[in-house]
Chain A
């Protein structure tokens, strides 16, 4: 293998699995250390610069960081990264002094942002400090987009949502709420310098089966139904409720129905429990509220009596796999469930009937705009997309990531620069954590504690009121306990071959058998003969050398605990623990922190 180029920011970035997996690449270990040190405001700001909505995401994020967490590979349960983020938001002080100043004198460029969801808000947040004027359009009366309409208050209190949405709006966004854009052509005629479209994926899919038309009054599209609860239009539901679908929207629907008066609420899913699209924790929460999830139920028809919905019939199915493709085979058995209201949560799509074809914005067959994957620019220069409107239904933190990328593009576009060529690359800082003999600038002791559970509100209280938040969040004590589980993966093991005397001290002390001194070879062959073979190809092997004996140092990054024992036991300082900080540029080249 060739020597690893640790000067390339991506190499050590990848070692910080959580940060690498996060769409906005939030510096997770750093904010967890801040929380452990009681620096909640700093932890919040570090999050805010990166993902814009710490309090919202601390409750609702898809948390791609957690399955990536090294702790999961070490002992099975990841650090509760998402819930620690919430701690920062819950316990912070007044943060207004840290919000970037917006210049009074504008740069003369006006940007239209369509849809007031997380993607557009991120673009506004990034562009306002550079002197841009931003005009934000949304059909609803308040900002927040799907964060407001799709996420029930028992998961995301309105106060938290308002606070973080307003943080951005108060920076000086011109809000045109309640204003629906029906023609992009008309909007473009207003002379905006660039347009950003962050309209989400608002159209829920319908279910065209027998009885659909007769029962229409009591059949609701899940996303619309949740929105109508959020705005107070819907306050009750029938006694018997059937939710169709197995995703996160279905989980929100069934739990909302339970709180609005549903007595018998069933979730029906075509697939098995494991294959459901809902996150495991969302399923857990539904099960904890005693909501039955009926798997292998394929909708057959709506049953009506005197023109009113009374039930739903299902074909029971089983799965058969040919060449890895699943086929659902009816078992012949049918089930009827009593049903006063049916909630359809079987997917949603982005729709652009308001974008005129002659504008030159190409929409692909899948209904999504054709975009440059780096710049998020559409086929019409100056029109950019982000969030669910760009790549289809995903999540809030991805929308924020798109927003950052689009903001960089918009800034470059408005300054007449090349959107690709002038983008700044990420940067990397490495700083030794050695404070003295056996003293390190971070807590390197491995803590064997198991993941700390988040306390919940009393079930009877939670179910009585849809606005009562179910999860209470960690208190300080629990937060500190959980934060100690973080392995500090950003404190890197940096090897200097010319200092190594090949004494084997690091090999012997490494608790995870990561370190090897061996003959060089091709990657696959080398991986196979390490002390413990490096089977996980997604994890790099750090190679440096040759050493005086002709061997190389090969370290499997996979399960390194970043405990620093290698550096601690190294007599010559050939190993050092260095904190890697990845600098990801935002619009205008700004690197916050």
Chain B
């Protein structure tokens, strides 16, 4: 970790968004994670995405459980709301918060331990309910905070730092999320912000449950030879399927030339996609699952926007909740009294 503060001074030519803020205004405390941790890159990508979307920081709520990943909300959006809860229980916090105040943007940060082990039941029910949040798993396949045991997303045969091979098959959270009906599912890589930032922007503006599984190498315990979640391994085996195109990046040459395809989404806006490996339709759930299986067999890691349901589940719609955040309702509406309760009870008799 670094003891020195990041100086507040910034480049005088740093762009400002419509709110008059620079990207630096979206930062948090300096990270205490290991130098080179993928999680820090994801935090930086989130900062960029929130800046790009011109989100007022105080209209964002950050939620997390336990683990290296769960620490990261301290390191971005210092001016946002935050709740660091119990291990694996981030989805419960998010569900409650989203129900109480639908006007905030919810960012849930979790890890492979927090989600695929202790919090797996929470994860699947949040998907099932269609809680409107960005659910980010910073997936490094290892328990970094307890010094490098395999997590439930570690690939079978992947080697620990000590050379031990993992005997168990992994839980693929992406497949699980698509299978359970998550409206927005993508996989990113902390080492590729050109892909990750547009994914985050799309996820943050998706009206429903948006899941991003972000491969994030643990530089201390899982970045060695034999690991399948190291920087070099991911770079060698990554196959970008459907990357969202950065509007800004189109005018630069940093992108290899590729075919551009636009997809209409239900709110009328359009998503621009860059086709890389094959012609792919992210609106087709069966095709998505098929694609994942084909590439898994080849030992490849598929990244990009894998699935986007134009009409995904949304908890508020399902429950027919009020449009107004609960803190803005007056007392009479919030607590309509015994007569109203009697009416409801009568309906259930």
Contacts and interface: CB of A to CB of B under 8 A. Distances in A.
Given A438-B3, A501-B223, A501-B231, A74 B9 contact: yes
Nearest to A528: B252
Interface stretch (B33-41, B101-109, B130-138, B144-152): B33-41
Given A503-B41, A508-B44, A513 B11 contact: yes
Given A502-B231, A569-B2, A513 B35 contact: no
Interface in A434-455: 438, 444-446, 448
A508 B4 contact: no
B340 interface: no
Interface string A552-572: 000000010101010011111
A508 B43 contact: yes
A509 B6 contact: yes
Contacts of B35: 505, 568-571
A529 interface: yes
A559 B11 contact: yes
A507 B44 contact: yes
Contact of B41 (A73, A504, A511): A504
Nearest to B217: A503
Contacts of B257: none
A507 B193 CA distance: 11
A532 interface: yes
A75 B254 contact: no
B56 interface: no
Interface in A531-566: 532-533, 535, 548-549, 559, 561, 563, 565
A559 B217 CA distance: 30
Nearest to A572: B36
B235 interface: yes
A507 to B, nearest CB: 7
Given A511-B6, A559-B11, A571 B235 contact: no
Most chain B CB inside 10 Å of its own CB: which residue of A448, A533, A569: A569
Contacts of B9: 74-75, 446, 448, 511-512, 561
B108 to A, nearest CB: 21
Interface in A489-542: 501-505, 507-509, 511-513, 518-519, 521, 525, 529, 532-533, 535
B341 interface: no
B268 interface: no
Given A509-B6, A548-B235, A565-B6, A503 B13 contact: no
Contact of B252 (A504, A529, A559, A565): A529
B14 A532 contact: yes
B167 interface: no
Contact of B36 (A446, A501, A565): A501
A330 B121 CA distance: 88
A572 to B, nearest CB: 7
Interface string A259-283: 0000000000000000000000000
Nearest to B44: A508
Interface string B1-21: 111111111111110000000
A505 B40 contact: yes
Interface in B189-247: 190-191, 193, 217, 219, 223, 231-232, 235
A136 B44 CA distance: 65
Contacts of B11: 512-513, 532, 559
A549 B236 CA distance: 9
A563 B40 contact: no
B4 A532 contact: no
A571 B232 contact: no
B277 interface: no
Interface string A57-82: 00000000000000001110000000
B42 to A, nearest CB: 10
B344 interface: no
A571 B222 CA distance: 13
B253 interface: yes
B14 to A, nearest CB: 6
A569 B193 CA distance: 18
Contacts of A509: 2, 6, 30, 40
Contacts of B252: 529
A580 to B, nearest CB: 22
Nearest to A439: B3
Contacts of A568: 2, 4, 35
Contacts of A446: 7, 9
Interface string B262-296: 00000000000000000000000000000000000
Contacts of A448: 7-9
Contacts of A571: 34-36, 219
B3 A503 contact: no
Nearest to A75: B9
Most chain A CB inside 10 Å of its own CB: which residue of B5, B13, B190: B13
Smallest CB-CB A-B distances: 4 pairs: A571-B36, A446-B7, A508-B44, A503-B36
Given A505-B35, A532-B13, A535-B13, 11 more contacts: A74-B9, A75-B9, A438-B2, A501-B223, A503-B38, A503-B217, A504-B190, A512-B9, A565-B2, A565-B4, A568-B2
Interface of A: 73-75, 438, 444-446, 448, 501-505, 507-509, 511-513, 518-519, 521, 525, 529, 532-533, 535, 548-549, 559, 561, 563, 565, 568-572
